[in-house]
Structure 1
Amino acid sequence: MLASLIVSTLMVVLTVLIHGVGLFVLSRLLRLEAKEEASANIHPMSPRGMAVTLMLVLGLFLVHGVEIWAYGFLYLWLGALPNLPEAVYFSTITYSTIGYDDEGFLTAWQMVAAIEGVNGVILLGWSTAFFVTVVARMGRR
Structure 2
Amino acid sequence: MMEWQTILGHFAVQLALVALTVLIHAAAMILVLRHFVRSVPPEGVHVPFLRSVVFLFHIVCLILAAHLVEMVVWGLAFHLIGIFPSSFTAYYFAIETYTTLGYGDVLLPRDWRLTSGWLATTGLLMFGWSTAVFATIIDRLNESRIQRVVERLQA
Would you say same fold, with TM above 0.5?
A: yes
From the CA coordinates, give the structure whose radius of gyration is larger.
2
Give the match for residue 15 of structure 2.
9
Residue 103 to residue 53, structure 1, CA distance change in 2 (3 Å): closer
* Residue in structure 2 matching 1:63, options 53, 61, 66: 66
Aligned-partner SS, 2:90: helix
TM-score of the aligned structures, taking structure 1 as reference length: 0.90
Residue by residue, what CA displacement relative to the aligned partner does 1:68-90 show, whole Å, maximum 9, x if unpaired?
00000011011111211111111
Query: Matched residues in 2 for 1:17 and 1:102: separation?
Result: 30
Counterparts in 2 of 1:127 and 1:139: CA distance versus 1, 3 Å: same
Q: Whose RCO is larger (CA < 8 A, sep 6+)?
A: 1
Answer whether contact 2:97 2:116 (CA < 8 A) is retained: yes
State the distance in 2 between where 1:3 and 1:117 align. Answer: 20
> Using the alignment, how far apart are the partners of 2:33 and 2:74 within structure 1?
25
Over aligned residue pairs, what C-alpha RMSD do you find?
1.7
Identity fraction in percent: 27
Residue 33 (structure 2) aligns with: 27
Letter in 1 for 2:31: V
**Does 2:121 align with 1:118?**
yes
Equivalent position of 1:96 in the other structure? 99
Q: Could you tell me whether the CA contact under 8 Å between 1:75 and 1:87 is conserved in 2?
A: yes
**Is there any run of 5+ residues in structure 2 with no aligned partner, and where?**
1-6, 145-155
> Offset of 1:41 from its aligned partner?
2.5
Counterpart residue number, 2:136: 133
**Counterpart of 2:92 in structure 1: which amino acid?**
Y
Q: How many residues are aligned here?
A: 138
Q: Tell me the CA shift for residue 102 of structure 1.
A: 5.9
Q: 1:54 maps to which residue?
A: 57
Asked if structure 1 preserves the Cα contact closer than 8 Å seen for 2:108 and 2:116, the reply is: no
When the two structures are superposed, what TM-score results if normalisation uses the length of structure 2? 0.82
Deviations 1:49-94 (A, max 9, x none): 1111001111110000000000000110111112111111110110
Q: Say whether 1:41 aligns with 2:45.
A: yes
